[in-house]
Structure 1
Amino acid sequence: MGDRETINGVPVAEEQIDTWAQEAEVGYDVETLKRRGRGRPGRGSEPSQVIALRLTAKEIADLDARAEHEGKTRSEVIRDALTVA
């Protein structure tokens, strides 16, 4: 195996590939895989959508300062700003 075989920049050893192959040959429990919680957790029953937002460096700094002050994430601050009281 070449030294270029990596996952996220980490080299993958031949032993690891053999282990994965053995696991695959035995089979996977589909219900267990479904429960692993892959991806980000949902935000309720409705589907959500990711949107791109362009901000200046000052706007990002202001957003980060507010998030830090309020103990929230950037996303939480933005969602709060969109909520109509």
Structure 2
Amino acid sequence: MTTRTTKAGRTLTDADLDAIADEVESTEYDVEALKTRRRGRPAMGSGPADVVPVRIDPELKAAIEDRAEADHTTTSEIIRAALREFLDVA
């Protein structure tokens, strides 16, 4: 008898595995949709994004955080928007 344990700690017996296999075999999956499904964060531009560490003074950081809170967004999005506007990049 084969037993497997899930990440949650549940032990699956042969009967459990057979039931799962039967369910998978009886369900029609859109294989192409499953292949194209991406994991992780959505792409932000034409390619993978880079992390760019930047030092900022406490007053500027506080202003960014205040604006992010007021706009109900993240500090990263505020910084990206400011850079796009400053550099005139879409």
- Whether the aligned pair in 1 keeps the contact of 2:67 and 2:78 (CA below 8 Å) is yes
Identify if the C-alpha distance between structure 1 residues 69 and 39 changes in structure 2 by more than 3 Å, giving closer, same or farther.
same
Q: 1:11 and 1:55 mapped to 2: Cα distance?
A: 44
Q: 1:66 is matched with which residue? A: 67
Aligned to 1:14: 12
The 3 A distance-change label for structure 1 pair 14 and 42 is same
Higher Cα Rg: structure 1 or 2?
2
What is the TM-score of this pair, normalised by structure 2?
0.49
Q: Secondary structure at the match of 1:65?
A: helix
Matches within 5 A, 1:37-48: 37-44=38-45, 46-48=46-48
Identity percentage of aligned residues: 32
CA deviations on 1:13-45 (whole Å, 9 max, x unpaired) are 416x722xx23xx4x65302134342222224x
1:50-72 C-alpha deviation (Å, 9 max, x unpaired): 3153668x57x623322111222
Deviation of the 1:73 alpha carbon: 1.8
The runs of 5 or more residues in structure 1 that have no matched partner are: none
TM-score between the two structures when normalised by the length of structure 1: 0.51
Unaligned runs of 5+ in 2: none
How has the CA–CA distance of structure 1 residues 68 and 41 changed in structure 2, closer, same or farther, with 3 Å as cutoff?
same
Residue correspondences, number: 73
